[in-house]
Amino acid sequence: MAGRLSIITGATSGVGLATAKVLAAAKSNLVLVCRNREKALPIREELMNAYGVDVDIVVSDFSRMSEVRQAAETILNQYQTIDVIINSVGLHSTRKRYNEDGIELCFAVNHLGIFLFTKLLLPRLVAQGHGRIIQVNSEGHRFSGVKLKDINFKKRIYTGLKGYGQSKTAQLLTMQVISEQLKSSHVTINACHPGAVKTAIGSNNGFLYRFFFKHVTSHFLKNPVISGQAIHYLAAAPELEGVSGRFFHLTIDELPAKHAIDPVMARKVYDLSMEMVGLNDE
């Protein structure tokens, strides 16, 4: 990874931050994509001072597609070569919430924002003839398929597991289509469950959720450094050259749930996602 450029979304906490530290130690230059510049600044200084790498910050709220577009444009204008994209931004909500466009928030952040960001940067990777994309996914995709006619939970009861599961399943389904599109290139895209680790995901939820997480759940979770190490492997391992469209549980190649690998549904979710973010493949 020495001298390569890694772009990490959700880079100021949890899996994203752990990955940034591991990759900086491996001498990769970094672009930290995050919502809060003030939170990112001391992280930037720490990584630069400790490892002597270049670290830049791009601010973007992935619930807002306009900000995702702006972040991608900034990166394309500032960097001629992009070696690795790690999409670790994520959200878990115990109640139904919507973004400014009326899209259910987990679906907007965990899937659509990442989908748009990836699609906007992909042409650069294809043109340069190399690159790896890693979608930080979750075993949580097993909790729910994608309901094409009710993405926004207008007709069904919302639960945190269903909203989260739908968003992660959508990411895995669209990854299949993107991987197929990249077949003739030297660019790969894979997904990774980062393990049962402590992160800040869900910190936007209410007191009871946060209390239970702090005093019960967190005691069973591991240090997110194991996630950073696994993602480092997926980003750098020579033996993974050309490996694409796979789901890894840390570094173990694993079969996703059946509803997350249906090729017909994959195409439908991909087409819907393209429509929702205002893109076309022409």
Range 20-53 burial, b when 16+ CB lie within 10 A, else e: bbbbbebebbbbbbbbeeeebeebbeebeeebeb
Q: Are 134 and 244 in contact (CB under 8 A)?
A: no
209 is catalytic: no
Contact criterion met (CB below 8 Å) for 122 and 76: no
Contact indicator for 227, 250 with CB cutoff of 8 Å: yes
Cβ atoms within 10 Å, residue 233? 16
Among 98, 158, 164, 233, the one annotated catalytic: 164
Alpha helical stretches, state H, the chain: 14-25, 37-51, 65-78, 105-106, 114-128, 160-181, 207-215, 225-236, 263-277
Dist CA 94 CA 200 (whole Å): 14
Under DSSP, the state recorded for 221 is P
Q: Where are the alpha helices (DSSP H) in 182-262?
A: 207-215, 225-236
Concatenated DSSP letters of 123-166: HHHHHHT-EEEEEE--GGGGG----GGGTT-SSS---HHHHHHH
| Secondary structure of residue 11 in the 3-state scheme | coil
Catalytic residues: 164
